[in-house]
Chain A
Amino acid sequence: MTLATVKKAKTLPTQSTLHDVLIIGAGFAGLGAAIRLKQFGITNIAILERDTAVGGTWRDNQYPGAACDIPSNLYSYSFAPNPDWSEAYSGSREILGYIHHLVAKYELEGLIRFSQNVTGMAFDEAAGLWRIETAHGERHAARSVVMAPGPLSNASLPRIAGIESYQGHKIHSAKWDHGYDFTGKRVAVIGTGASGIQIVPELVKVAAHVKVFQRTPGWVLPRVDFAPSDGLKKLFRRAPITQKAVREAMFWIHEAMATGIVWNTAVTPLIERVAKAHLRLQVKDRWLRRQLTPDFTIGCKRVLMSNAYFPALQAPNAKLITWPIATLSEKGIRTVEGVEHQVDCIVFATGFDICKSGTPFPVTGLGGRQLNDEWSRGAQAYKSINVSGYPNLFITFGPNSGPGHNSALVYMESQLDYAVQGISALLRGGHKALDVKPAVQASYNAAIQKRLAKTNWNTGCKSWYLTADGYNATMYPGFATQFAQQMKTFDLADYRPIN
């Protein structure tokens, strides 16, 4: 079965709490799932959102400078192109605007139940239904569930010694305090990953002093940024095929990058050389350059993109600090070289709590099995989306679906279309449930792990892609094209029907 063969599915009679599909999360993935399901005639759906607004990661990450490091033409749904992107790499506000536009255009508002924080879900085998509970005690039931909680949706302050003793202001990049005025303040930024390098150039413009605390430098590539002209936008609007062509070109450029970023090949040192040349051009001081030069293979951790970060670090009111942090104190940060760096505010750009070995809430499958337990030593799924023992459950950005070189939305679209096929098969086939066969899942994962062993992610650096044991449950070891190909067909033979 492919998406093209999905016919309009029969749906259950609409009830207030019984749906054909319940979607958990109203971020990019959840809303995209609703759009694709609607487009293929599955309309008895609802979206449960824990917050009071849509947008997920892009709603939460509104820190100064927040932007996507994939070009907007590629970081958007192919079925919903936006000819009006104001920049090649749009900021988070504009991306959030695009998400709001999707809600309006595809009339999703009525499907979303806000402030519904799911606390658990269990599969009722007798009824062939997923039963879901929320924090306020509401109960929902559905034939199938699309779990779209987002991999980067939970953020908390890191466990740094003495964090409770610090008396100044604390801000997490993913929970920005828009009421705090940085003007004239002494600020510390902890973390130099994707968020940190976007925040620092903005803070340097207003704060009295910015100290940037780095543990490990990342590879930073230059970003070819430009603002599309009005003429180009007009062309995209009048002839959408031109925008499609641009998107295709960007897609293939990013695919080509995989040859050096996903695997260690002859291309890898070439990309490293570009990053080193970028550093050399922007940083003249040899010691600072040394501090900013990574000692791991490019691609092993997320590749960063910025033209503004290195110049910002060299501003008269900025300083990079690479001494390890000993403890936080009442007035600031004490580093191991013995100095207390006193600051008015600490910005924690320390990333997210990513579920690599668990689920955001208890998920109970067939025979009372718990997904948390099964994933405690590293998550695994079939084609990243289904898990054996948890029928009719589709997980977006499930295990091993992360891209290291291309747009996450390309991967997401493939997953959504696969879910639509699976849900259609379920609703049309008259089965209570479809459960992926354990042997099929095991063989898929064995192959994935074998392929992962040959990638840059498993070359020894510590990254959020890996569990503490070094198990990679996050990334997909291949091209986006390969991922899309594997998600193209929903093969019923891989599933055990439950009647």
Chain B
Amino acid sequence: MKALNPKELPTHSQAEINAKLEKMLAKIKATQWSLADIDWDAPGREIVTEDPVLYPKLKAFMADLMWIEHVGARGFAAMAKVAPTDTLKEIYTYFHAEEQRHANAEMALMKRWGMLDGDTLPEPNINIRLVVEWLDRYADEQPLEVLGSVIPMLEIVLDGSLCKFLLETVHDPVCHVAFEKINGDEARHLGVDFQVLEMLGFGKGYQLGIKAAGNLLNPKLLMGILSYMPLLNKMRDNLMALGLPEERLNVALRKYKTIGGRTAQGRRNAWFQIISRHGQLVANRGYTAYHKPVDALVWLTGKVPARWLPTPPSWVNELTWKPAA
């Protein structure tokens, strides 16, 4: 297969990947932090609360961000179930908790900025609710190839565009302290994500392709895709409304394609190919053949009365802004 970028790396053996993951696990354990490490009452909150233009947009953005982190956390929990080695399983168990920590820290920022109604969670939009429901019911049954290829894309967008954009927009020093820690975690997550993305390309290309095609026929996965696509479109539009330049998203998605495709076996992963192409479709509103039906889905899901949805799963109640319990 022809290289897609000039920074082509040699293919790693499974043993090399395992050794790298072992080292990464030790690093993860050595770099833990907690909400109590941050002074949430430090001066600077008024920088946000007294900005009437930023405040409402940021409130909506933070709620979305927090929910995306939380949904990502649940994704890692599902990946821990299907991880092929004990080390990767433990790493994903940590990542599950770390993504939850990010959601908790973001909620603590919202609390600081008076964006929470008492102790209650910010209301998730209907598309988040649908994804939560799907994750709760079916995520644990999905093969590692699917979530292991989607999660790096979501994380690179979070890390590469959303968080950077947030720090450029919000000048509260506590927000910067929190996101410095969050970004440190995300850098390690991306390191593992791309290692796994490469690992998932082991084997013959046509076999991986057939396997991916088989998975795509799984109705449970199709339901997941149908709830995931409108969520992405909605998020994309919310971000643009907040002022995020579209190019930022494109840069992040190109990064996914470049890093994920830097080895031949990474490119053999059929899910990497599907998701990197799909990312381009999402970022560019010009692809009307994609966006029109997905926007229709956003509209349609928006009509679903919240009462039709089952009670959110109890893992949602694990979210907290409180540093101590």
Select the stretch in B12-20, B95-103, B281-289 that faces chain A: B95-103
Contact in complex: B94, A336 (CB < 8 Å): yes
Given contacts A287-B315, A336-B98, A338-B100, contact A327 B35 (CB under 8 A): no
Alpha-carbon separation in the docked complex, A336 to B320 (Å): 13
Let me know if B97 and A324 touch, CB within 8 A. yes
* A469 CB–B CB distance under 8 Å: no
- Which one, B101, B314, B318, contacts A336 given CB within 8 A? B101
* Interface positions of B from 58 to 108, Cβ below 8 Å from A: 81, 86, 93-94, 97-98, 100-101, 104-105
A315-335, CB under 8 A of B: which get 1 and which 0? 000000001101101011011
The answer for the CA separation of A462 and B86 in the assembled complex, in Å, is 9
Give chain A residues whose Cβ lies under 8 Å from the Cβ of B320.
Answer: 339
Is B295 close to A, CB under 8 A?
no
Name the residue on A nearest B181 (C-beta): A338
B125 within 8 A of A: no
**B112-166 CB contacts (< 8 Å) to partner A:** 136, 140
Q: Quick one: closest B residue to A336, CB to CB?
A: B97
Assess A338 versus B136: contact at CB under 8 Å? Given A324-B93, A462-B86: no
Minimum C-beta distance from B121 to chain A (A): 15
Nearest chain B CB to A217 CB, angstrom units = 13
Taking a contact as CB atoms under 8 Å apart, the answer to whether A339 and B324 are in contact is yes
Decide: B314 and A288 in contact? CB cutoff 8 A. yes
Whether B313 and A337, one on each chain, are in contact in the complex, defined by CB atoms closer than 8 angstroms, is no
Nearest CB to that of B102 among chain A residues? A338
| Cβ 8 A contact of B34, one of A288, A290, A340, A460 | A340
Q: Which of A332, A334, A336, A339 contacts B322 (CB 8 A)?
A: A339
Contact check, B93 vs A339: say whether CB atoms are below 8 A apart. Answer: no
Residue of B nearest to A461 (CB): B86
Report the nearest A residue to B98, measured CB to CB. Answer: A336
Please indicate the chain A residues that have their CB under 8 angstroms from the CB of B322 in the complex.
Answer: 339
CB distance from B42 to the nearest CB of A (A): 17
Q: Among the listed B93, B100, B324, which residue makes an inter-chain contact with A340, where contact means beta carbons less than 8 Å apart?
A: B324
- Is chain B's binding surface mostly helix, strand, loop or mixed? helix
Whether the Cβ atoms of B140 and A290 lie closer than 8 Å is yes
- The reply to whether the CB of B173 lies closer than 8 angstroms to some CB of chain A is no
CA distance A337 to B102 in the complex (A): 8
In the complex, whether A276 has a CB less than 8 A from a CB of chain B is: no
B-chain residues with CB within 8 Å of residue A327 when the two chains form the complex = 32
Which B residue sits closest to A462, measured CB to CB? B86
Determine if B325 is an interface residue (Cβ-Cβ < 8 Å).
yes
Q: Is A11 located at the chain interface by the 8 A CB criterion?
A: no
Per the 8 Å Cβ criterion, residues 243-285 of B in contact with A are: none
Task: Provide the residues of chain A in CB contact with B100, threshold 8 Å.
Answer: 323, 337-338
Is A340 within 8 A of B101, CB to CB?
no
Q: How far is the CA of A17 from the CA of B89 in the complex (A)?
A: 56
Q: Is A282 an interface residue (CB 8 A)?
A: no
Is the C-beta of A177 less than 8 angstroms from some C-beta in chain B?
A: no
Which residues from chain A contact B98 at a C-beta distance below 8 Å?
336-337
Q: Given the known A-B contacts A338-B104, A339-B35, A342-B324, are A286 and B97 also in contact in the complex, defined by CB atoms under 8 Å?
A: no
Interface: B33 (CB within 8 A): yes
Evaluate contact between B325 and A338: CB separation under 8 angstroms. Answer: no
**Alpha-carbon distance between A110 and B132 when the two chains are bound, in angstroms:** 69
A285 at the binding interface (Cβ < 8 Å): yes
Asked if B36 CB lies within 8 Å of chain A CBs, one says yes
Residue numbers in A under 8 Å from B136 (CB-CB):
286-287
Which residues from chain B contact A324 at a C-beta distance below 8 Å?
93-94, 97
Q: How far is the CB of A332 from chain B (nearest CB, A)?
A: 8
Is B34 within 8 A of A339, CB to CB?
Answer: yes
B323 in the interface, Cβ–Cβ < 8 Å?
Answer: yes
| A334 close to B34 (CB less than 8 A) | yes
Q: Contacts A286-B136, A287-B313, A290-B140 known; A337 to B323 CB distance under 8 Å? A: no
Pick the residue among A287, A331, A337, A460 that contacts B324 (CB under 8 A).
A331
Contacts of B94 in A (CB 8 A): 324, 336
Smallest beta-carbon distance A188→chain B, Å: 11
A341 at the interface (CB under 8 A from B): yes
Write the nearest CB–CB distance from A211 to chain B, whole angstroms: 8
Cα-based distance from A341 to B323 in the complex (angstroms): 9
A107 at the interface (CB under 8 A from B): no
A295 contacts B by Cβ under 8 Å:
yes
Please name the residue on chain A nearest to B73 by beta carbon: A337
How far is B105's CA from A398's CA once the two chains are assembled, in angstroms?
51
Of A323, A332, A462, chain B has the most CB atoms within 10 Å of the CB of: A323
B325–A340 contact, CB under 8 A? yes
Partner of B97, one of A329, A335, A340, A342: A335
A285 to B316, CA, bound (A): 13
Q: Which residues of B contact A462 (CB under 8 A)?
A: 86
Q: Which residues of A contact B325 (CB under 8 A)?
A: 339-342
Cα separation A337 to B70 with both chains bound (whole Å): 11
Asked if B313 and A340 sit within 8 Å, CB to CB, the answer is: no
Residue among B34, B86, B94, B323 with most chain A CB within 10 A? B34
Q: Shortest beta-carbon distance, B138 to chain A, in Å?
A: 12
CB distance from B276 to the nearest CB of A (A): 30
Chain B residue contacts of A290, Cβ below 8 A: 140
Chain B residues contacting A332 (CB-CB under 8 Å) are 324
Q: Pick the residue among B34, B36, B104, B314 that contacts A287 (CB under 8 A).
A: B314
List, in ascending order, chain A residues with CB within 8 A of B35's CB.
338-340
Q: Given that A336-B97, A337-B97, A338-B101 are contacting pairs, would A286 and B34 also be in contact in the complex, using a CB cutoff of 8 Å?
A: no
The distance in angstroms between the C-alpha atoms of A323 and B76, with both chains bound, is 13
Q: Which residue of A lies closest to B35 (CB)?
A: A338
Q: How far is the CA of A327 from the CA of B36 in the complex (A)?
A: 12
Residues of A within 8 A of B101 (CB): 336-338
Residue among A286, A336, A462 with most chain B CB within 10 A = A336
User: Which residues does chain B contribute within 8 Å of A285, judged by CB atoms?
Assistant: 314
Closest Cβ of chain A to B104, distance in Å, is 5
Pick the 6 closest A-B CB pairs, nearest first. Answer: A336-B97, A338-B101, A326-B32, A337-B100, A338-B35, A340-B324
Known: A286-B136, A340-B325. 8 other contacts (CB 8 A): A286-B313, A288-B314, A329-B36, A334-B34, A334-B36, A336-B98, A337-B104, A339-B320
Q: What are 27 A-B pairs with beta-carbon distances under 8 A? A: A285-B314, A286-B136, A286-B313, A295-B81, A323-B100, A326-B32, A326-B34, A329-B36, A334-B32, A336-B94, A336-B97, A336-B101, A337-B101, A337-B104, A338-B33, A338-B35, A338-B100, A339-B35, A339-B322, A339-B324, A340-B34, A340-B325, A341-B325, A342-B324, A342-B325, A460-B86, A462-B86
